Structures are given as C-alpha cells and as structure tokens.
C-alpha cells in the first residue's frame, strides 16, 4: 500500500473513487481474498485500494484475519467514511519521494541486522498480551509469539553492541519487564481506541524501552 501511494498516487485515487459505501459492496471487496489465486493476480493498485477501503469502512478500523489468512472484520456502517482522501494520498506521496522513504515487508531481523551505524530505530511489535482475553498478537494467522519477542530482544542487544540507538514500545507485563531488564524502561499512559467494550477504551499503561537515556 505504501509503495503504491509513493509511486502511483493518481492511479490509487482513481481506483478508490469508484468504490461504494454499502454493506453489499463492502463484503464483495472483503471477499476478494477468498479466492487466493484471483486475489494474488490483482494489480498492486487494486490491492492497495482494497486495503485502504476496508480500513476506512470496516468496524472500528480493525485489521484482523482468520486462520486462512482472510480478512474477516464486519462492515462498520459509517455514513461518510473518507476512503478516497485524495489530498492526503498526494501529500504522503510527495513526502515519501522527497525523503526517499523505502518500504519493505520482511522479517524484522533481516532489517535490523543490516542497518548502518548512526541509524535510529523505533520498534512497535505486536504487544505482549496483558491477559488471556486481551491477546493483541493474532491480527494475522501467523501471530507474534513469546519466541518472537525473545528474538527481538536479541536483535536489540545486537543493535546496542553496534552503537545503534533504539526505542521500543510494548505492554506493561512481567514478561516484557523481565525480557528487557537492564535497559532504560519508562512507564507511559496511552489511550485505547479499539476495544469491543467501550469502557475499555481509556488510558492504559505501556512501557517505552530504550538503550539510551
């Protein structure tokens, strides 16, 4: 999606301009990934448009997949969702190109292990669940396990050994505090906007972890 915004903003805007805000159309677009071969054959512009459209029209802007890797969030019933946002797409495209932003989609270790000195890294992994019912690691079929968190800690150690500064955010759990013991840990409060229970959309405590002060 970000690469399409960077290189093909006008084609993306044109594609989105033909989309409709109805339940019938929503489920038609959502269902495109039920036929994997057909979905994979879609152009990058069409796949990016679908992603943006679903994000703006699905319930609560949530991204979630079932075990088959299919997007499964219900229709949001919003009156006037801004899924075209031509000015925003053009502004983002201009910035991405002017700043020479590069987007990749690979395992985090492949990126972190090849960064040059002088790089600053911000890490925002799927958060460690604060309870059995608040598991925010399974937005996709692959999830993000405890072992993945441990691998990430090893990458942070490697960054530190190479003199590269990092900042990482995560939930305030005993596991994360223990995993990153020895690093600078700061408690912060942030608001939650995605929660099936409206009472749960308040301020919660998170951790900011750094290898510098």
Residue pLDDT, tens place only, 52-72? 999 999 999 999 989 898 999
Mean pLDDT in residue range 75-103: 97
Taking residues 156-171, report their average pLDDT.
97
Q: What is the average per-residue pLDDT within 121-136?
A: 81
Q: Is residue 49 a contact partner of residue 12, using CB atoms and an 8 Å limit?
A: yes
Domains for the chain: give ranges and CATH numbers. 2-98 (1.10.1020.10), 108-210 (3.40.50.150)
Cα distance between residue 71 and residue 58, in whole Å: 10
Sorted by sequence, the CB contacts under 8 Å of residue 46 that are 6+ apart come out as 15
pLDDT at 141: 60
Percent share of the chain, pLDDT over 90: 82
pLDDT of 136 > 70? The answer is no
Q: How far is CA 207 from the centre of its chain?
A: 18
Query: Does the pLDDT value for residue 90 go beyond 80?
Result: yes
pLDDT band at 137 (very low <50, low <70, confident <90, very high): very low
Please state the rounded mean pLDDT for residues 105-119. 93
How many helices, marked H, and strands, marked E, lie in the chain? 9, 4
Task: Kindly state the DSSP code that residue 100 receives in the 8-state scheme.
Answer: T
CB atoms within 10 A of CB 125: 15
pTM: 0.77
Average pLDDT, the chain: 91
């Amino acid at each position: 999606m970000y690469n399409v915004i960077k290189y093909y903003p006008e084609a993306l805007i044109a594609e989105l301009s033909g989309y409709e805000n109805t339940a019938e159309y929503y489920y038609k677009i959502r269902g495109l990934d039920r036929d994997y071969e057909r979905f994979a054959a879609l152009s990058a512009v069409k796949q990016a448009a679908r992603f943006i459209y679903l994000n703006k029209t699905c319930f609560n802007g949530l991204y979630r997949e079932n075990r088959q890797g299919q997007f499964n969030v219900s229709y949001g019933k919003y009156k006037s969702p801004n899924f075209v946002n031509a000015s925003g797409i053009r502004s983002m495209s201009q910035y991405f190109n002017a700043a020479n932003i590069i987007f990749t989609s690979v395992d985090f270790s492949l990126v972190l292990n090849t960064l040059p000195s002088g790089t600053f890294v911000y890490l925002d992994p799927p958060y460690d669940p604060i309870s059995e019912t608040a598991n925010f690691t399974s937005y996709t079929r692959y999830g993000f396990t405890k072992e993945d968190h441990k691998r990430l800690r090893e990458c942070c150690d490697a960054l530190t050994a190479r003199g590269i500064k990092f900042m990482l955010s995560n939930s305030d759990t005993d596991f994360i505090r223990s995993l990153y013991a020895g690093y600078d840990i700061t408690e912060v409060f942030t608001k939650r906007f995605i929660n099936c229970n409206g009472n749960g959309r308040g301020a919660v405590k998170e951790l900011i972890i750094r290898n510098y002060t």
